[in-house]
Amino acid sequence: MQLYSFFNSSTSYRVRIALALKGLEVDYHGVNLRAGEQRQPQHRELSPIGGVPVLVRDDGLSLTQSLAIIDYLDALYPQAPLLPAEPLARARVLEAAQLIACDIHPLNNVRVLGYLQQVLEVAPEEKDRWYAHWVAEGLTALEVLLQRHGQGPYCFGDKPTVADCCLVPQVANAERLGCDLQAYPQVMAVYQHCLAQPAFQLAAPGRQPDFIQ
């Protein structure tokens, strides 16, 4: 399999964590989002929306959307399952994952920040305020969900799930952008626990072939 990824794309990072947790190796192709490579016609063949990650199977079929890719990997490679089997436990994991994937990340990704700057001509400090606002709204809610339903050391117990695959890249991004994360102790405890695990380390931005300082 091949993975089209950008080292500090958080959705790519989610899939890299899932692959590492399952012990799967892929051919890695860097797509430089800063240089706009995701909008090139040959990349749009793989990803019509012009994004990463893209998983390409050995028969050439390509699949987009990080959570669809992770669900697919989980179906095909059942080792280290990323979703519990019991319906309510599964729902809690998906609730946390979708909260990050729908209510935080889409507002703060490259194309949206680009639109704010280039089309709406928003000042840099207003763009940072936008970023911090959605991170704070989302992580406040995630903290409540984890405090209510989670139990460490991962989001939901002693095995990593797709919720952890989403949490780590989101918190890493927020940290990189200088957001204040003190108000989310359980989120941060999960984050620190994950960062200490080899699979999460393998998937980290700094370990990718397309890493740029």
| Distance in Å, CB of 137 to its own copies, minimum | 7
Rank residues 25 and 125 by Cβ distance to its own copies and give the closer one: 125
5 vs 47, which CB is nearer to its own copies?
47
Q: How far is the CB of 56 from its own copies (least distance, A)?
A: 13
Element (H or E) spanning 30, and its range?
strand 27-30
Residue number, 19 or 99, with CB nearest to its own copies: 99
> At closest approach, how far in Å is the CB of 47 from its own copies?
8
Q: Which is nearer to its own copies, 76 or 212 (CB)?
A: 76
Q: How deeply is 35 buried, as exposed, middle or buried, from its count of CB atoms within 10 A (0-12, 13-18, 19+)?
A: exposed
Query: Which residues are near its own copies by CB under 8 A?
Result: 47-51, 61, 63-69, 71-72, 75-76, 87-88, 90-92, 94-95, 97-99, 101-103, 105-107, 111-112, 115, 119-120, 122, 126, 129-130, 133, 137-138, 140-142, 144-145
CA distances from 118 to 3, 34, 113, 127, 198 (A): 30, 14, 9, 11, 39
Beta-bridged to residue 36, according to DSSP, are: none
Helix ranges (H only) for 22-123 are 41-46, 66-76, 87-98, 110-118
Q: How far is the CB of 75 from its own copies (least distance, A)?
A: 4
Q: Which is nearer to its own copies, 148 or 206 (CB)?
A: 148
Is-contact 173 11, C-beta < 8 A?
no
Cα–Cα distance for residue pair 146/212, rounded to 1 Å: 33
